[in-house]
């Protein structure tokens, strides 16, 4: 086996972990793949014999790549003022691809990714690496270019914001599905009171539909009215997993995808609904593979 073949083999062993780091850092599957590819290119150009710990070296490299992407993205966002939902990891309830399980381990739901997207790049990096991957602060400090004390402070500041804003869904998936099914039944029946009964009074609905990016509605009454209105546009509804929690794919009568909806159920109530309706992003999800 040549040195290059051995290096490629070692990289493949680390690929899943690298994708998981990049997805949590970026919330984008496409950008995560680009970051992984860039990590491979940097490894291929390096003196592998001088690398003592390949896994740690690759984590540092992909973290720096993601940090650069985040800083560039934040600069563009300040110019456009548009925000979008993170990419969704979709699966069927009767089976989950092992690669998808790696991506969404540690309850990496949409609610958490949305909160991570509000953090400064250095805060996000410190939190993701330390709290999700147990990377020591000394290594995080080396990646960012700060002291270990500063890296610890970044992670602590991020942790406080995440704990205060990222709700944890109920652990029982079957219970989540019952609540979502009750929501769908009330929606189809145009039952306003039934919808309000399964929604938290402070429920948040986010809808991502181009142009204009992310739109947000708050309050059970407002969300119930919106749900009844949109129920008339969709046809067939299919249950799926969205980042490991109960969700649905809605199809138009002509067989084209209409939306993907992810639900965060906590305390037996729906507290967040995330709706992806951007046709371009829906087309990239290959939703037909989920059909029974």
Q: What is the mean pLDDT of residues 23-27?
A: 94
C-alpha to C-alpha distance for 31 and 237, rounded to whole angstroms: 29
C-alpha to C-alpha distance for 62 and 251, rounded to whole angstroms: 37
- Percent of all residues in the chain with a pLDDT value above 70, rounded to a whole number: 89
Whether 211 and 281 have beta carbons less than 8 Å apart is answered as: no
> Per-residue confidence at 80, pLDDT binned at 50, 70, 90?
very low
* Digit-coded pLDDT (tens) for 176-185: 999 999 999 9
**pLDDT on residue 112:** 87
Tell the burial category of 274 from Cβ atoms under 10 Å away from its Cβ (0-12, 13-18, 19+): buried
* Digit-coded pLDDT (tens) for 219-250: 999 999 999 988 777 678 889 999 889 999 99
* Digit-coded pLDDT (tens) for 119-162: 999 999 999 999 999 999 999 999 999 999 999 999 999 999 98
C-alpha to C-alpha distance for 109 and 242, rounded to whole angstroms: 8
Whether 103 and 89 have beta carbons less than 8 Å apart is answered as: yes
Whether 62 and 36 have beta carbons less than 8 Å apart is answered as: yes
Domain boundaries, the chain: 3-165, 173-290
Residue 245 dihedral angles phi and psi, to the nearest 5° = -120, 170
User: Domain 3-165's class?
Assistant: mainly alpha
- CATH code of the domain occupying 173-290: 3.10.450.50
Whether omega for the bond prior to residue 61 falls within 30 degrees of 0, making it cis, is no
- Percent of all residues in the chain with a pLDDT value above 90, rounded to a whole number: 58
């Amino acid at each position: 086996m040549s040195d290059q073949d051995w290096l490629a083999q070692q990289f493949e062993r680390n690929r899943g972990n690298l994708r998981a780091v990049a997805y949590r850092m970026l919330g984008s599957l496409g950008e995560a793949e680009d970051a992984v590819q860039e990590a491979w290119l940097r490894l291929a150009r390096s003196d592998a014999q001088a690398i003592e710990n390949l896994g740690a070296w690759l984590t540092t490299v992909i973290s720096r790549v993601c940090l650069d992407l985040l800083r560039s993205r934040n600069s563009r966002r300040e110019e456009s003022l548009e925000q979008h939902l993170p990419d969704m990891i979709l699966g069927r309830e009767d089976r989950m691809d092992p690669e998808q399980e790696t991506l969404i381990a540690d309850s990496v739901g949409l609610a958490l990714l949305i909160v991570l997207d509000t953090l400064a790049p250095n805060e996000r990096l410190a939190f993701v690496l330390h709290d999700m991957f147990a990377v020591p602060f000394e290594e995080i400090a080396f990646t960012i270019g700060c002291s270990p004390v500063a890296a610890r402070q970044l992670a602590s500041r991020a942790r406080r914001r995440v704990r205060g804003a990222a709700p944890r869904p109920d652990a029982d998936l079957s219970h989540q599905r019952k609540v979502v099914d009750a929501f769908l039944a009330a929606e189809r029946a145009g039952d306003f009171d039934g919808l309000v009964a399964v929604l938290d009074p402070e429920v948040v609905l986010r809808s991502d539909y181009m142009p204009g990016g992310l739109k947000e509605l708050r309050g059970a009454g407002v969300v119930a009215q919106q749900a009844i209105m949109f129920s008339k546009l969709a046809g067939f509804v299919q249950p799926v997993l969205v980042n490991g929690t109960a969700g649905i794919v809605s199809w138009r009568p002509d067989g084209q995808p209409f939306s993907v909806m992810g639900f965060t159920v906590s305390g037996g109530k729906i507290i967040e609904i995330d709706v992806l309706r951007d046709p371009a992003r829906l087309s990239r999800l290959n939703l037909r593979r989920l059909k029974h």
